[in-house]
Amino acid sequence: MRAPPPSLLPLLLATAFLSPSPSIATDKLDQTASIAGNQTLESAGGVFRLGFFVPPGSSDGRAYLGIWYASIPEKTVVWVANRRNPVVRPPGVLTLSSDGRLVILDGRNATVWSSDNAAGSGGVATRATAQLLDNGDLVVSHGGESQSGSTTGRTSVAWESFDYPTDTLLPGMKLGVDGRSGISRNITSWRSAADPSPGAYTFKLVSGGLPEFFLFRGLSKTYASGPWNGAELTGVPNLKSRDFIFTVLSNPDETYYTYYVSDPSVLSRFVLNGTTGQVQRFSWHRGGGGGGGWSGFWHFPLDPCDSYARCGAFGYCDVGQSPLCSCLPGFRPRSPQRWSLGDGSGGCVRTTNLSCGAGDGFWTVSRMKLPEATSATVHAGVTMDQCRKMCLGNCSCRAYAAADVSGGINRGCVIWAVDLIDMRQYPEVVQDVYIRLAQSEVDALTAAG
């Protein structure tokens, strides 16, 4: 589809916007083509569709460029390009600029949104294409670039929508930080079902110590996944299932969470709900006559003990007891009166002060979500015995644990020189955490059995 002359553009765009929803018989867009109004691209396998949409329930007709499932009857949007800048003067038009950027224009030919500059300031991207893949990724590639417009002969990915999630994480997408590109991949809820602009909740990686993912409402933490210990996120030990495979990768270049489903024909999405403030996982179940619906598999926060730092410093939460909050062994409530009223937010204090020397020891807890570890220090290649000595040699050390327990083998160590917060108890063993106490407290706990 070649670009029309400028004089015919308004008429053609208006016709495209008012006409029935035609799907261009391709998954690609090049620099000689555009999609306008209610035209769409469709991935090669017919899984996803890209086009302009007006959210259901919207009364102002504002249009957004989005990606949604093409193969199910329920229109479910998984990505929005211009969530901060809707098209208010229709029709919307998507084009590829000379420097390889995706550009959304409105009915007056004004730029509403554009992707990052692929060819650099003033550059020309030759043979640039945008392709919608069957995994839901919109990928901009080009065959080389130069200031003069000459072709280099190389094809490279210049930009992709997977680097800029909105409220949904699809299989294969990453949630985390890429230190090489400086990209932070977070998901942020819609403001409402009729408004995809950024809402109150964001789920993201907070760098430092062990990898851990936090749900924020504004600037306040409301939930934490628990630190990654090489085998699991310790705040969600029941997340594993036969059909759902996830991992966290952490190296000097990048740290991220990603997941896959064992059956690629199953439609699955991980979404941040702006109404409930929950991270939810859904899968599509197919019904008779081409129908079906989304089934929820899990959501977090799950229960009152998932509330961030509910029991304060050196406290832990247990949904199987009343009140929910208890102090770690060797600690007592900071405010017994508030504690008795069910308010454990003030946390706990030591029953016996540390001596900062040979008079200290450690008590092991093993069924706990690891304390928040973003401010903890990780030491790779250190044995647990060396870690114990390092902790005893640091008057500020409150606890230590293995940094990586994958395969049932302890590797490295993590040391907390800060208060221990956001812990909860589980029925099953998670990992050994060694809490520093006065040796007299350790002896008393041992004698009490």
pLDDT digits (tens, 9 = 90+) for 210-225: 999 999 999 999 999 9
Give the percent of the chain with pLDDT over 90: 76
| Whether the predicted model's global pTM rises above the 0.85 cut | yes
User: What's 126's DSSP letter?
Assistant: T
Distances from the Cα of 373 to the Cα of 227, 234, 345, angstroms = 6, 11, 19
- The per-residue DSSP string of 13-41 comes to HHHHHHS--PBPS-SEEETT-EEETT-EE
Q: Is 42 helix (H, G, I), strand (E, B) or coil?
A: strand
Distances from the Cα of 53 to the Cα of 61, 68, 189, angstroms = 9, 10, 18
Confidence band for 142, pLDDT divided at 50, 70 and 90: confident
Please name the CATH architecture into which domain 21-116+125-144+155-163 falls: Orthogonal Prism (2.90)
Over 50: is that where the pLDDT of 146 sits? no
Q: In the block, which residue shows the tokens 């044995």?
A: 383
**50 compared with 207, residue with greater pLDDT:** 50
Convert the pLDDT of each residue in 323-370 to its tens digit.
Answer: 899 999 999 999 998 988 889 999 999 999 999 878 999 999 999 999
Confidence band for 380, pLDDT divided at 50, 70 and 90: very high
CATH 2.90.10.10 domain residues, the chain: 21-116+125-144+155-163
Give the percent of the chain with pLDDT over 70: 89
The Cβ of residue 416 has, within 10 Å, a number of other Cβ atoms equal to 25
Question: What pLDDT does residue 118 have?
Answer: 52
Segment among 21-30, 247-256, 303-312, 405-414 with least mean pLDDT: 21-30
Question: What pLDDT does residue 147 have?
Answer: 34
**241 compared with 265, residue with greater pLDDT:** 265
- The per-residue DSSP string of 344-413 comes to -TT-EEESS---SSTTEEEEEE-BBPPPP-TTSEEETT--HHHHHHHHHT-TT--EEEEEE-GGG--EEE
Over 90: is that where the pLDDT of 449 sits? no
Give 105: exposed, middle or buried? Use CB within 10 Å, 0-12, 13-18, 19+: buried
Element (H, E) at 300: strand 292-300
Question: What pLDDT does residue 21 have?
Answer: 46
Confidence band for 20, pLDDT divided at 50, 70 and 90: very low
Question: What pLDDT does residue 116 have?
Answer: 83
Task: Provide the token pair at 114.
Answer: 């554009």
Question: What pLDDT does residue 1 have?
Answer: 35
Torsion angle of alpha carbons 256, 260, 266, 269, nearest 10°?
Answer: -20
Distances from the Cα of 283 to the Cα of 246, 292, 309, angstroms = 15, 10, 31
Question: What pLDDT does residue 287 have?
Answer: 74
Task: Provide the token pair at 92.
Answer: 């919307």
- The mean pLDDT value for 22-46 works out to 87
- The mean pLDDT value for 415-438 works out to 96
Confidence band for 26, pLDDT divided at 50, 70 and 90: confident
The widest CA-to-CA distance across the chain, in whole angstroms, is: 90
